[in-house]
Amino acid sequence: MAFTHLFAAALACAPIVLATGATAANGGAVTVDTGELLANMYLPKDYTFHRIVSNPTAGPDGSDIMKPGDSKEIANIQGPGIISHIWFTLSRQRDYVLKDCVLRIYWDGEKEPSVEVPIGEFFGLGHGKYYDVHSIPFETGNKRGYNCFFPMPFKKSCRITFSNSPDHELRRLFYHINYKKVASLPDYVRTFHAQYRQAKPTSGPSYLILDAAGEGHFVGLFYYNRTNSPGWWGDGGEQIWVDGREIPATGQEDYFGQGWSFGKGENGLRFGSPWYESDEKPVHADNSFYRFHIEDPIPFEKTFRMEMRHGLRNERHDDYSTVAFWYQTEPHKPFPPLPAAKDRYPSQPDAPTSPDAPGEGAGIPHSSIEK
């Protein structure tokens, strides 16, 4: 099975809104080619389908409670295979469930994970908030069902662990890990990676999103920010270097496929701003964005580096956190230490909206937007 077919295989498992070519909810007027998605449905498949699930008999008696600080291995699969769908839902509906709990994935016996991300941020739910996300690789159902459709090949083994909050018990943990058992995988197949970073607040040079070394390709990110002062924060934009070659850029909303600030509740298949408060709150606005390079993954032969300016000249001190997604050959560059759970919360507590800017948030000033 060629690697180019791996993502197409995942798309075949995507929710029906994609298979019908319907416009994504709440904006993002982009459709998927139905014929392309369904073109190979009638052909024989060269894999067997398997699933690992959480305790199927767990009920309201709390038999599946995880104590504070508990970690458990939820999957240990022998390869070769391809994970095609990961689904989670957790109880209770609290911010600490999304912020504190951590997902880790290890490929082919590696000692350090290739995926290490707080569970909410991994699935696009930043700031400990519950909202709709509808993209090709990630979707939420009823705001409580978290789905990932990125294909994740492994040759020898796959091990997945889940770590609970250090301060709270978790009453219910439900998950499905769907995977395809295959006879073999090509030598050139690259493994999936996801890395969390944060700066709360930002300071100094541009915020670092990813610094990867090896041979691979970058496929997208979730970006979460929280404003700590009034004023428009998006003029700086991203900075990308591929094997030392800089890719030109303009502003933050431009990279995320939008213009003249961001739209509220935008859920495109490739880009979106599913949670956006800066249109209403000048300070302490929580914002969530995503951009996936579906048709145009960014390949690199030696190095890939991506940064984001915090203000036009890095003058702002807002809270930034990101999850970068990429595929590469192993070994990967060591990840930075994951910040402690208590440090993944806002650097400043919530405060009332400033009376100096009634009716206008911290987006581009209304007077500056050309109609």
pLDDT over threshold 70, residue 127: yes
Average pLDDT rounded to a whole number, residues 58-64? 56
Instruction: Let me know if residue 364 belongs to a domain.
Output: no
Average pLDDT rounded to a whole number, residues 218-231? 97
Average pLDDT rounded to a whole number, residues 231-243? 93
- The better pLDDT of the pair 9, 124 is held by 124
Instruction: Let me know if residue 192 belongs to a domain.
Output: yes
Sorting pLDDT into bands at 50, 70 and 90, what band is 361? low
Helix segments in the chain, DSSP class H: 4-12, 16-19, 34-38, 95-100, 119-122, 252-255
Average pLDDT rounded to a whole number, residues 67-93? 94
Per mean pLDDT, which range of 22-36, 98-112, 153-167, 310-324 is the poorest? 22-36
- Total domains in the chain come to 1
The distance in angstroms from the start CA to the end CA of the chain is 50
Sorting pLDDT into bands at 50, 70 and 90, what band is 366? low
Domain range for 276: 4-346
Sorting pLDDT into bands at 50, 70 and 90, what band is 35? low
Sorting pLDDT into bands at 50, 70 and 90, what band is 92? confident
Instruction: Let me know if residue 352 belongs to a domain.
Output: no
Question: pLDDT at position 269, please?
Answer: 94
Sorting pLDDT into bands at 50, 70 and 90, what band is 100? very high
Token digits of residue 29: 């007027």
Question: What is the Cα–Cα distance from 93 to 111, expressed in whole angstroms?
Answer: 32
pLDDT over threshold 80, residue 29: no
pLDDT over threshold 80, residue 102: yes
Token digits of residue 83: 């994970």
Does this model's pTM top 0.85? My answer is yes
Burial 335-344 (b: 16+ CB within 10 A, else e): beebbebeeb
Sorting pLDDT into bands at 50, 70 and 90, what band is 57? low
Instruction: Let me know if residue 74 belongs to a domain.
Output: yes
Instruction: Let me know if residue 371 belongs to a domain.
Output: no
- Mean per-residue pLDDT over the chain, rounded: 87
pLDDT over threshold 60, residue 229: yes
Question: At 155, which CATH number?
Answer: 2.60.120.1390
What is the full DSSP assignment across 4-42? HHHHHHHHHTS-HHHHTTPPPTTS------HHHHHTTTT
Q: What is the pLDDT of residues 331-346, one digit of tens each?
A: 999 999 999 999 999 9
pLDDT over threshold 70, residue 250: yes
Q: What is the pLDDT of residues 165-202, one digit of tens each?
A: 999 999 889 999 999 999 999 999 999 999 999 999 99
Question: pLDDT at position 350, please?
Answer: 80
Question: pLDDT at position 2, please?
Answer: 42
Sorting pLDDT into bands at 50, 70 and 90, what band is 94? confident
3-state secondary structure of 227: coil
Instruction: Let me know if residue 357 belongs to a domain.
Output: no
Per mean pLDDT, which range of 104-108, 143-147, 350-354 is the poorest? 350-354
pLDDT over threshold 60, residue 79: yes
What is the full DSSP assignment across 119-148? HHHHTT--TT-----B-SSEEEETTTEEEE
Instruction: Let me know if residue 362 belongs to a domain.
Output: no
pLDDT over threshold 90, residue 26: no
User: What residues are paired with 234 via a beta bridge?
Assistant: none
Instruction: Let me know if residue 156 belongs to a domain.
Output: yes
